[in-house]
Amino acid sequence: MAELLEQAPLFDTGVTAAVPAASPKLPSELTVPPSAPSAPPSAPSADEPDPEKDYAGWCRAQGNRLFREAEYGQACAWYGHAIVSLERGEGVGVDAPAADGSPPRGAIATLLSNRAASWLKLGRYPEHRALRALLLSALTALERYDAADLLCEAQLHATPEAPELLHAAARLVFIRQGADACLAALTEVDVADTATHAQSAELHGRCKALLALQEDAKLALSSGNADAAVTISCGALCLAEEISSGASQPSDHERLLLVRARAFLTIGQPAQAIADFRSAAALNPAGSQAGAGLKEAWRLLQLLQKRSSLYEVLGCEPNATAEQLRKAYHKAALKWHPDKHTQADAAQQAEAHARFTELQAAWAVLSDETTRAEYDADHKGG
């Protein structure tokens, strides 16, 4: 989020609310109790604050008690009285005003959150869009996706056509399940109505663009254009990051990282491939592709470190002609092609795959006059 956030716990919801670093100017309708609260018990419990000394804390305690007793309407009223008391500077202890005399925004945010939870229980959460957007944004930034889903679901039940809620729900689907699932979720939204659903329409367009980039990257890799696959994957990863606003997004990120890692292997950059395979494995620890790729990348890195030059990989001298290089590559490729080692044991298959990848990487550099000249210049004199 653009603003610095502090955390304040929601009462009995397992959710965390967010408070702007600057003391917010709370809307007046948020500080007025919805109805006169019922009379509190004549003899408050021993763990409740003394109303004569800490009226705000005592009101909060009444709200919490009523919430536990499922008297959500009355709980809202008592939370409201506590908010008004804190805004008047009547809080004590942790609820006391700040040094500059401003209300204790953390305590007020907690009470607002508690009252929001009560409204949710009643199915009558008021239409305070700014607060709702703040809560959703904070929960998403904190990766509290279950809590954000709960808030969206409850709000959509009350206002099923709210554009900002439809967008928030679809964005949560994108973060947790990827672009395909997000597009499916948006089928119920009229994204053509850009005046009403501008955010959802933008999200729809970006998801389609992301999926197209994923396909382009895979096509480039399968057609032998590994450099293009790296470039396209980088662009797609940046787009996915923008859509999720930096939130963890396993599915699309993992797929793109795996494609880019394979492309790095193909062009002989095992160190970069290792980094991408590790990132993919962190996003999906149960996935097998990243683990297998990581082993392969390590083998290639070790092989390259043992070789004095790419010419040695092809079995040629540095002054070999282009035709000699081509013949050497084809001969070695026939020898180490993985298809010729399908009946071998696991270790031999792994070696064949690593050597074939090493050959492809060397050939990718030495088969082009420009990249060969750059390589020769970098390695001149040893």
Helix axis angle for 346-366 and 322-336, nearest 10°, is 160
Domain boundary among 276, 306, 336: 306
Question: Radius of gyration of the chain from Cα atoms?
Answer: 30
Q: Are residues 19 and 125 in the same domain?
A: yes
First to last CA, the chain: 51
Domain boundary among 260, 281, 306: 306
Q: Which of 219, 230, 379, 217 is nearest to 308 (CA)?
A: 379
Q: Are residues 23 and 154 in the same domain?
A: yes
Q: Which of 103, 91, 81, 69 is nearest to 32 (CA)?
A: 81
218 domain residue, yes or no: yes
**pLDDT tens, residue order, the chain (382 aa):** 232 223 333 333 333 333 333 333 333 333 334 444 555 555 556 678 888 888 888 999 999 999 999 888 888 889 888 988 888 888 887 778 877 777 787 788 788 878 877 877 776 555 456 667 777 777 777 778 888 888 888 778 767 888 888 888 998 999 888 899 999 989 888 888 878 888 899 999 999 999 999 999 999 988 888 889 999 999 999 998 888 876 666 788 899 999 999 988 887 778 888 889 988 988 888 888 888 888 888 877 777 666 668 898 888 999 999 999 999 999 999 998 888 887 877 667 767 777 888 888 888 889 888 888 888 888 775 5
Q: Are residues 259 and 336 in the same domain?
A: no
Q: Are residues 109 and 192 in the same domain?
A: no
Domain boundary among 134, 160, 186: 160
23 domain residue, yes or no: yes
Q: Are residues 22 and 156 in the same domain?
A: yes
What's the domain range around 211?
A: 178-306
Gap between the Cα atoms of 137 and 141, Å rounded: 6
Encoded tokens for 172: 């949560």
Number of domains comprising the chain: 3
Q: Are residues 112 and 199 in the same domain?
A: no
Q: Are residues 41 and 149 in the same domain?
A: yes
167 domain residue, yes or no: no
